[in-house]
A and B are shown apart, each in its own frame.
Chain A
């Protein structure tokens, strides 16, 4: 399954490293290092070396683009940072269309420097903090009637898509344009509700007695537009948001490099790793999510369902659907793929249109969607073609030990090291560019869903993903996370401030690996983290 090494330069490196280190005074170590141990170019020929030590490590175009592809990538780069304003903006009509409710104003705000956003800091003992422009996290919301299971996907059940909360959406928009709410003079720039964040702390003891303090985010929704000033379980629960059938799931922004390569992985290579009933009894199942495919739907495919690849629960099939869904959802900017606002036909939206006499929300003054086809294509291409950063500290003995342990602990049971992308593939419904084909890549993910235990569960179903399941995160570039954004945290809600904390949150199917990790010596634990930091 794992293919042999990629380029001449890399072979030379590996040979040199091995030759140089087999010092005659030291006996050759008997253990067999995994094939990925000394691999540098995790993204094949797309890999960047030029910025792979510092804060632009996620922001470099794939090295193997043609000049016209580079031009489109750079146009998309500018679009990724463009801040939208409320409509109408007479002076900058191409930049308007924000909201009327949204989570942030440009892509970069939640994917800072193409990586993760800052985890909101709450000083110990301080009051909960309101999510504002500096937050790159939001809540997904849906209703799950207790009578309803969803395991057979049909047009009637919307292919098991989450069911929007009536009057809201499938995402809680905690910000708004100035006059989004009917009570805007007392709630200017507030969206559907306020969201506050605090943390719950717990201690975790490792082998040798070392104590790690873990923090878990607690989100609190207040002041929903359908019941202003109401707070959940403090007095009345009149808001539709506060009813028993409503599920909440926090979603942090995630890195956006290497995504075209992940979409290029052959579906059969992913399915070959799936073991939904754990037939090999290793405690790890691995299921594919199957999700609504907007591109198929637009082509009138009678069964618009595809394997899920992107999002924390693999709930979208393509970079294009993920990106343009975020453009419409997270920012409220309609586009050729999603032509209606997420909140269309909700009381908030109807009231906003009537009250501000702005009848054109959802389209520009030309009647077309707020973001043009060109904008949509360019910004999608940008995130399809961001380079994967090269590894660092290759050959370091601690890093090599960590690479060995990573396999011994069976982290590779879900974090599948490598794939080779095929030829003649489609990306986002279009022929993939050659730069993404036939690349041997090391993303360290199986692209599948796994039960990660109660500690991480959000209890919210998403297509075929249960409330306990999450998609295995790619680990490439993970060591640069805080170089790119020093305030960033890991996991779906940014709760882990260190990679060790992230490991310790692993439960469910990953519990055996986590337990073995915490029983390692301090040196070996440090080695595992050093290996991850080298990625």
Chain B
């Protein structure tokens, strides 16, 4: 790996030297990097901004509103059916968020939205103190509290219980304080998802809409379209790395004696494998340029294919394989992730998924990134 980095480093230095000439045709031919390729990026970047990133945030915002409504219904009419409906609304709201983790850049970080929505670990001791303090259970008070008692995992804990032995909750176990707190958290949550969509689409408090900076490079945020494409590819690399070496590997441990279920993501709902698969589906969305099942649109695949069709197809197959390997982890006995890490056969299947993700990460991090240096439009 190290050697490959050094090679590409040298090639970028040579290429940059040539770029210094601007439009001059007076190049020294023997120094020209022979394998440059052309690709017009505008349609791809516009499509990824509109129909993948912003479209995903719109879905997230809609699902957040549905979750908020489900929480309201549960408060008004606390029945088992309404609790299950709220659990399902939480799972539905989780999917677009996890898919969106393939492009964690821009307002989601800059506005502090990520920690407000997805903080981990929870401060469950603090949460229980607040639940015993009726005057604090309202949206204004909760929003002012630390983010480790807000967001997805707080709602998950309230809806599903502690997840230690099962991921089911009886309506009799749901206290009034819990459902009221859930409603307050869901209301705050919906406020943040609205902000996220608005920050990309229309801008907030006079800040330029992020989509403008993204689609019209050569500004203070993106100096070039190369920067935008590099951002998209490294975003995909980032989540693949996190799933393979963090989300899965940390609880998995070096061997069956060193597992740590406390590190499992979405451990209360047992939704972990859905989370991981959605993370990589998010990679597929950016790569393909459309959500699964939609008509073909330009995505990172098209950029890679313009430089190396074989590589483009290989990466697509590796993404699909990684998703399949994650989905295969439960096996025939249908083990959730937190049980699979403690199961000998489950561990074999998990290792297969880790290996697939590592291979995919390398293809994007080394091979696709190397194409950036060869692109004539950089």
Interface residues in chain A, defined as those with a beta carbon under 8 Å from any beta carbon in chain B: 9-10, 12-17, 19-21, 23-24, 38, 40, 49-51, 53-56, 63, 78, 83, 85-86, 88-92, 95, 105, 109, 112-113, 118, 121-124, 126, 132-134, 175, 177-179, 185, 188-190, 390, 392-397, 479, 482-483, 485-488, 498, 533
Contacts and interface: CB of A to CB of B under 8 A. Distances in A.
A17 B20 contact: yes
A13 B16 contact: yes
A20 B221 contact: no
Given A13-B17, A49-B9, A479 B110 contact: no
Nearest to B123: A85
A118 B14 contact: no
Interface stretch (B167-175, B183-191, B222-230): B222-230
18 contacts: A9-B14, A16-B31, A23-B24, A38-B20, A40-B13, A56-B234, A133-B147, A177-B126, A188-B144, A390-B12, A395-B19, A395-B21, A396-B22, A483-B227, A485-B109, A486-B110, A487-B107, A498-B220
Given A123-B205, A395-B21, A486-B221, A113 B123 contact: no
Candidate in B17, B124, B226 with the most chain A CB atoms within 10 angstroms:
B17
B35 interface: no
A91 B205 contact: no
A121 B205 contact: yes
Contact of A55 (B126, B205, B234): B234
Nearest to B231: A54
A20 B223 contact: no
A10 B111 contact: no
A78 B28 CA distance: 46
Contact of B224 (A23, A53, A63): A53
B213 to A, nearest CB: 7
A13 B207 contact: no
Interface string B187-216: 000000000000000001111001001000
A49 B136 contact: no
B246 A13 contact: no
Interface of B: 5-6, 8-10, 12-14, 16-22, 24, 26-28, 31, 105-107, 109-112, 115-116, 119-126, 129-130, 133, 135-136, 141, 144-149, 204-207, 210, 213, 220-224, 226-228, 230-231, 234, 238, 246, 262, 369
Given A17-B16, A118-B112, 17 more contacts: A12-B17, A16-B18, A17-B21, A55-B234, A85-B148, A86-B126, A90-B125, A113-B109, A118-B110, A124-B206, A190-B144, A390-B12, A394-B19, A396-B20, A483-B223, A486-B213, A533-B220
Contact of B262 (A12, A92, A109): A92
Given A54-B230, A178-B129, A95 B111 contact: no
A63 B129 CA distance: 48
Contacts of B238: 56
A477 B6 CA distance: 21
Contacts of B17: 12-17, 20, 394-395
A123 B9 CA distance: 44
Contact of A20 (B20, B122, B222): B20
A91 B9 contact: no
A460 B21 CA distance: 50
Contacts of A397: 22
Contacts of B22: 21, 396-397
Given A83-B148, A177-B126, A486-B221, A185 B136 contact: yes
A396 B19 CA distance: 8
A55 B231 contact: yes
Given A113-B109, A178-B130, A20 B27 contact: yes
A54 to B, nearest CB: 4
A394 B18 CA distance: 10
A51 B123 CA distance: 35
A20 B25 CA distance: 9
Given A12-B14, A118-B110, A118-B111, A21 B21 contact: yes
Contacts of A54: 222, 227-228, 230-231, 234
Given A121-B207, A178-B145, A189-B146, A9 B9 contact: yes
Contact of A91 (B111, B116, B124, B221): B124
Contact of B149 (A88, A134, A178): A178
Pairs A-B, 6 closest by C-beta atoms: A395-B20, A134-B112, A16-B17, A487-B110, A17-B20, A54-B230
Contacts of B111: 118, 134, 487
A265 B6 CA distance: 26
Contacts of A89: 121, 123-125
Given A85-B123, A133-B116, A19 B28 contact: yes
Nearest to A497: B220
A488 B120 CA distance: 25
B121 A83 contact: yes
Candidate in B8, B16, B120 with the most chain A CB atoms within 10 angstroms:
B16
Nearest to A189: B145
A93 to B, nearest CB: 10
B122 A133 contact: no
Contacts of A91: 121, 124, 262
Contact of A51 (B10, B21, B230): B230
Given A17-B20, A105-B148, A395-B17, A63 B5 contact: yes
A107 to B, nearest CB: 13
A475 to B, nearest CB: 15
Candidate in B105, B124, B210 with the most chain A CB atoms within 10 angstroms:
B105
B110 A21 contact: no
Contacts of A123: 205-206
Given A51-B234, A396-B20, A485-B110, A13 B125 contact: no
B158 to A, nearest CB: 16
Contact of A188 (B106, B107, B145): B145
Given A49-B8, A178-B130, A482 B221 contact: yes
Contacts of A55: 105, 231, 234
A133 B13 contact: no
A486 B147 CA distance: 22
B121 A92 contact: yes
Contact of A53 (B126, B230, B246): B230
A40 B146 CA distance: 43
Contacts of B106: 486
A486 B107 contact: yes
B126 to A, nearest CB: 4
A533 B246 contact: no
Contact of A112 (B9, B109, B262): B109
Contact of B126 (A14, A19, A49, A178): A178
Contacts of A488: 110
Nearest to B224: A53
Contacts of A177: 123, 126, 146
B44 to A, nearest CB: 16
Contacts of B262: 91-92
A188 to B, nearest CB: 5
Nearest to A124: B206
A175 B146 CA distance: 9
Nearest to A122: B205
A121 B199 CA distance: 13
A99 to B, nearest CB: 9
Contacts of B234: 51, 54-56
